[in-house]
A and B are shown apart, each in its own frame.
Chain A
Amino acid sequence: MPLFGLAPTEWQAVQLSLLVAFWASLLSLPLAVLVAYALARWQFWGRQLLNICVHLPLILPPVVTGYVLLLVFGQTAPVGRFLNDTFGIVLAFRWTGAVLAAAVMAFPLMVRAIRLAIEAVDPKLEQAATTLGAGPIRVFLTITVPMMAPGLVAGVVLAFAKAMGEFGATITFVANIPGQTQTLPSAIYAFLQVPGGDASAVRLLVLSVFISVLALALSEWMARRVVHGTGQ
């Protein structure tokens, strides 16, 4: 008995989307924190340039981003070939590529949320911590991170939601192969292209609403836990 009355292809699409969104938000988190911290706190040459690059996927048409990924990470492209030859990692037309596409598309949202959270941390508290003998890493881990935790959670949830719904860049970079690269949105799109696919599309639609509501509720709960629970 398939869960929720889903056909195997539909179920695979849901599973793949969750997997892609999970890895995309998890793997981009450390880099997003670093970039957000740099943009919020450091003055350096090329800061504006970095800011623009981070925001590009938000501004460009997703198809363009997907095409750029294909040009850089495709099997015959320089970086793609290097990754394949050296580490045996293939991204184009694989689910791992879908993770990369989702991560790139979600990155600006995550950086923005975390940057706001870092800017809200009072540097006076960090100064106080240094006068108490804490070095930069200890200050960051014990003062900065707990104080910005709600923003961190918000950033991860935003990125997860964006990754779940990412369509344009994903379909351009890794296509729409059932069981391999067909995520929930690409599955809905595919079902709409074939006669009689409406029922599948509606089932997936209901399921994606359900997942979104669940994720939102979970994030609210986590944010509250983080605000009240840090440091105890």
Chain B
Amino acid sequence: MTLFLDLNHSVGDFNLALKFQVPNGVSALFGRSGAGKTTLVNAVAGLITPQKGRIEIAGRAVFDAGRGLNIPPHQRGIGYVFQDPRLFPHMSVQRNLNYGRRPARSFEIDANLIVDILGLEKLLDRRPDTLSGGEKQRVAIARALLSNPDLLLLDEPLAALARARKLEILSYLERLRDELRLPMLYVSHSVPELARLATDIVVMDAGKLVACGPASDLLSDPSLVPQLGLAAAGASVLARLTAQSEDGLSTLNTSAGQLFLPRIEAPLGSRVRVRILAQDVMISVQKPEQISALNILPCHIISLRPGDGPGMIVELNSGNDRLLARITARSAKRLCLQPDLACYAIVKTLSIRPAEVAI
């Protein structure tokens, strides 16, 4: 277990009261702005002192109001990547990186590997004020990593970045997750980011816990659609890359059949997680022929959930994977959709963007 947390903290009218624990891996903390995500992360880091509760990092109690235990931030063994890079302006990149280096407690992180993964070789002699936003954030991530933390806290590290930079740093973070196996607590309100990075998700709203569990379950849970947002609702499908075609498409095998996607740059045989948004999925009760869409997956309907507006979310079972489809209530009625009905899910190849594919 990486993090156990049982907190009660009030600031003015706002009350943060929740209890959860997450295992090793990347745990994403998800919620609207004002949900108390940053307050929670600051409490884990020790930058604020909660009024009540207990916090354990990697099995070690760092805060226990009952026992009067409050380990100061510099002894908690955490790394913190803030929303803004917070590089020290009077030091070179190299000296920023060296600032936090300390003996490893649970992970020995190879400095050269970090500099390599984050692409920092050419920046080492530069001053922070000469770096671009993306470069600064990469340095901030490397600096936090080189302090050999037991747990890395990231508070919306991509929020201030342009889209292209986000994708780039996201793929760096995926490498850190897979190559270093460093536990992370990742704050975000972007579902595509979570879908790519998170192994577990904690959903919170107005200071309270809404849900906590494995990412694949929560992200395709139709009851969480109100929290995750309709536009971001969807499900992740596990697939294996089996062929690259000359017309620019990649072929993947899923438990329900073949999937054709815009070219994915990865070696054949790679395991890939593809997030398919509910609004990109159509439902047909007969197998469609003569249709332009390439991906037609046989499914069973698990449940139907009406929404507030004209739409509804249909939860589908496709092989071992789950899919969500967002269709109008009118269509559902016309097609007489009901649980256990066999049908086909149709996904346009080009509707799946590179950001939704995690290698």
- State whether the Cβ of B52 lies closer than 8 Å to any Cβ in chain A: no
The reply to whether B86 and A128 form a contact with Cβ atoms under 8 Å apart is yes
- Given the complex, which residues of B lie within 8 Å of A20, measured CB to CB? none
B128 to chain A, nearest CB (A): 11
Residue of B nearest to A122 (CB): B86
Distance A43 CA – B73 CA, assembled complex (angstroms): 21
Is B15 located at the chain interface by the 8 A CB criterion? no
Asked if B45 and A146 make an inter-chain contact with CB atoms under 8 angstroms apart, the answer reads: no
Cβ contacts under 8 Å, A134 to chain B: 74, 99-100
Contact A132 B91 (CB under 8 A): no
Nearest CB in chain A: distance from B62 CB, A? 13
Are A131 and B144 interface neighbours, CB within 8 A?
Answer: yes
> In the complex, which of the residues B46, B75, B80, B92 contacts A128, with contact meaning CB atoms closer than 8 Å?
B80
Set B74, B82, B143: member contacting A135, Cβ < 8 A: B74
Identify the closest chain A residue to B82 (Cβ).
Answer: A128
A129 CA to B86 CA in the complex, in Å? 9
| B88 touching A130, Cβ below 8 Å | no
How far does the alpha carbon of A90 sit from the alpha carbon of B67 in the complex, in Å?
53
Q: Residues 90-103 of chain B: 1 if any A CB is under 8 Å from the residue's CB, otherwise 0?
A: 11100100011010
Instruction: Output the least CB separation between A160 and chain B (Å).
Output: 25
| Given A124-B84, A231-B95, A131 and B78 contact (CB-CB distance below 8 Å) | yes
Is the C-beta of B293 less than 8 angstroms from some C-beta in chain A?
no
B88→A231 contact, CB < 8 A: yes
Q: How far is the CA of A131 from the CA of B185 in the complex (A)?
A: 15
- B34 sits at the interface (CB 8 A): no
Residues B224-271 near A (CB distance < 8 A): none
**CA–CA, A232 and B90, complex, Å:** 8
Q: Interface size on A (CB < 8 Å)?
A: 18
Contact, CB under 8 Å: B90 / A146: yes
A127 pairs with B88, CB closer than 8 A: no
The reply to whether A124 and B74 form a contact with Cβ atoms under 8 Å apart is no
- Per the bound structure, the CA–CA distance linking A142 and B99 in Å amounts to 9
Contacts of A130 in B (CB 8 A): 46-47, 72-74
- The number of residue pairs between A and B whose CB atoms lie closer than 8 Å in the complex comes to 60
Chain B residue with minimal CB distance to A230?
A: B90
Q: Which residue of B lies closest to A226 (CB)?
A: B90
**A72 on interface, CB distance cutoff 8 Å:** no
The yes or no answer to A125 lying at the interface (CB within 8 A) is yes
Q: Does A133 contact B (CB under 8 A)?
A: yes
Q: Which of A44-66 contact B (CB under 8 A)?
A: none
Residues of B within 8 A of A127 (CB): 47, 73, 86
Docked complex: B145-174 residues within 8 A CB-CB of A: 147, 153
> What are the residues of chain A within 8 A of B78 when measuring CB–CB?
131
The CA of A230 and the CA of B91, in the complex, are separated in Å by: 8
A113 within 8 A of B: no
Please report the C-alpha to C-alpha distance between residue A125 and residue B91 in the assembled complex, in whole angstroms: 12
CB contacts (< 8 Å) of B88 on chain A: these are: 125, 128-129, 143, 231
Binary interface profile of B, 47-90, with partner A (CB < 8 Å = 1, else 0)?
Answer: 10000000000000000000000001111001110101010111
Report B78-137 residues with CB < 8 Å from chain A CB.
Answer: 78-80, 82, 84, 86, 88-92, 95, 99-100, 102
Residues of chain B within 8 A (CB-CB) of A154 are none
Cα separation A124 to B83 with both chains bound (whole Å): 11
Q: Which of B90, B92, B144, B153 contacts A132 (CB 8 A)?
A: B144
**Which residues of A lie under 8 Å from residue B45 when comparing CB positions?**
131
A–B complex contacts, Cβ < 8 Å, 11 sampled: A124-B84, A128-B82, A128-B86, A130-B46, A132-B74, A132-B100, A132-B147, A133-B100, A135-B72, A231-B95, A232-B92
